[in-house]
Structure 1
Amino acid sequence: MSSYLVFARPGTAVPDEGSVVLNDSFAPLAFAFPVFWLLFNRLWLEALSAILILGVALLMVASASFYWPGVVLGLAVSLITGLEGRNWRASALLRRGWRFADLVEAGDAETAFDIHTARAGAAPEQSRRLRPALQAGRMEAGANGAIGLVPVERT
């Protein structure tokens, strides 16, 4: 079972059919194709950074004396994107006005959304009681919190 983060669109009631359900785990496609994955998920600044760093890594690989450091740098970009890409996407959704609605453990995204719908529709008080640990954690941290390795400043 995986953890899924549910985000609600700005100004809508929870649950909403337009909600985004993110799997909070390693992203293999982000590891294999970091730049394309970042561009597909509209993470423009992260994609630009990845392009620049991978360009430097390519220049390093072209030089015989810097071949292995260039390979390690390219793999590091892929690994960091695979590990933190979904957290970057969650952070981008929060910046765009989406609100964090729920944290669900389920086997797949559809089941996670169904569980979220049942929690939000059946017992809002119970749903609120399940979130205190998360509110103290990374998604609802204080003014200087973080999502994964990315610092997030909230107002």
Structure 2
Amino acid sequence: MRTLNEVGINGPIETVFEIARRIDLWPERLAHYRKVRVLEGDLETSGVVEMAAYREFERMNWPVWWISTMEIDREEARIRYRHIRGVTKGMEVEWRLAQVGPDDTRVTIVHEWKQPPIGRRMAGGFIGHVFVHHIADQTLAGLKLAAESRLEAAVNG
């Protein structure tokens, strides 16, 4: 299973990267995130993090959670996760940020789940499309709003 989500954000890569890296603030910035906790390490270089969100459906919010290792690579403007607990155990996630203009940043999230556990192989497409892709789209939309609002506030004083 592989999903790809992208968004363009009006802002310099340094600002966008900082907002993406600060997962501890996601529950304040992103309505679909219930909780983010750093279990080990830090948000500067690497650690183990627990994340919980909702997959919003028309009439209900389906709770999801996972625990991941997290590696931050400032030089390459990348953040990598590897799910180590939860339904998506073994999933690899990479956030790639690229400066595409003087004040424009492209953010790409790639989720790869090469070998879902036995019994979940058939669910890979369902989990990938219905849950992973949708939640990543919501996350990118929320981060875009947070970054662009922050930059607009800085410009307007």
TM value normalised by structure 2: 0.27
Question: Higher helix share goes to which structure?
Answer: 1
TM value normalised by structure 1: 0.27
